[in-house]
Structure 1
Amino acid sequence: MIAHARDEAPLEACGILAGKQDRVVEVYRARNADCSPTSYRLDPEEQYRIFVDIEDNGLDIVGIYHSHPASPAVPSNTDRKQAYYPEAMYFVVSLADPAEPHVRAFRIADEEVTEEEMVVV
């Protein structure tokens, strides 16, 4: 996620994390259809192809990630409104300090945000 965010900066990067039981085994980089430094939208056709690949490989959607190139790793109002998958974790990668990227994980349901613990193994 961090490498993808750095590759796309100063635009927001986005992608999907797949795996089993909250354990990520595959990272799918996706194109930000918004091509924006302040918003993201997964390209619908690419999102569909990713979903098919996830299903074909017997995986589940674990999370959706995007970056904030110049702001903190906190979901924006827009992020909360566009969190269409309440079963997924939402990861925000902040590059506000490029030398020290910061990643946080959240559950978002009905625009309510709850930060979740993230364990990197």
Structure 2
Amino acid sequence: MVAGPAGSDRPDRFIPMLNAARSPTFYEFDSMDLLKLYRELDDRDEEPVVIYHSHTATEAYPSRTDISYAQEPGAHYVLVSTRDADTVEFRSFRIVDGVVTEEPVEIMESAS
């Protein structure tokens, strides 16, 4: 997850999360880890800006499970597909009340 100041839509702080399912085809966060994370976000006046994960065998499009887990209407849900070693699929979506809307993505070189 990438968090940012509440209401800013600015990605500011990377927060690594573990896949509690320990599966190459399914992800889920530990409920205690999520509780701790959301308390920390509240304390810092932050919110999730980007929530991302990979799809190892399917296209970079939200699955039914992804859609059902999407509880942050202001977040960008980024998916990366690794199904084809020669092609990178990197896509971003908004998911609000079960409705998936793709966003344009522009990949830019780093300034450093």
TMscore range, shorter length? 0.7 to 0.9
- Distance in 1 (alpha carbons) for counterparts of 2:76 and 2:21: 21
Query: What code does the residue aligned with 1:18 have?
Result: A
3-state SS, counterpart of residue 12 of structure 2: strand
The alignment's TM-score, normalised by the length of structure 1, stands at 0.73
- Distance in 2 (alpha carbons) for counterparts of 1:119 and 1:60: 23
* Total equivalences in the alignment: 106
For residues 16-57 of structure 1, the C-alpha deviation after alignment (integer angstroms, 9 at most, x for no partner) is: 210132221112111112222221111111112222222333
- Distance in 2 (alpha carbons) for counterparts of 1:101 and 1:55: 34
For structure 1, list consecutive stretches of 5 or more residues without a partner in the other structure.
Answer: 1-15
* 1:18 correspondence with 2:3: yes
For residues 59-89 of structure 1, the C-alpha deviation after alignment (integer angstroms, 9 at most, x for no partner) is: 2211211111222111112211221222222
* TM-superposed deviation, 1:117: 2.5
Structure 1 match to 2:105: 118
Identify if the C-alpha distance between structure 1 residues 84 and 95 changes in structure 2 by more than 3 Å, giving closer, same or farther: same
Calculate percent identity across the aligned residue pairs: 38
Report which of the two has the higher share of strand: 1
Match of 1:36 among 23, 41, 46: 23
The alignment's TM-score, normalised by the length of structure 2, stands at 0.78
Query: What code does the residue aligned with 1:97 have?
Result: D
Structure 1 match to 2:34: 47
Question: For the pair shown, which has the larger CA radius of gyration, 1 or 2?
Answer: 2
Query: What code does the residue aligned with 2:60 have?
Result: A
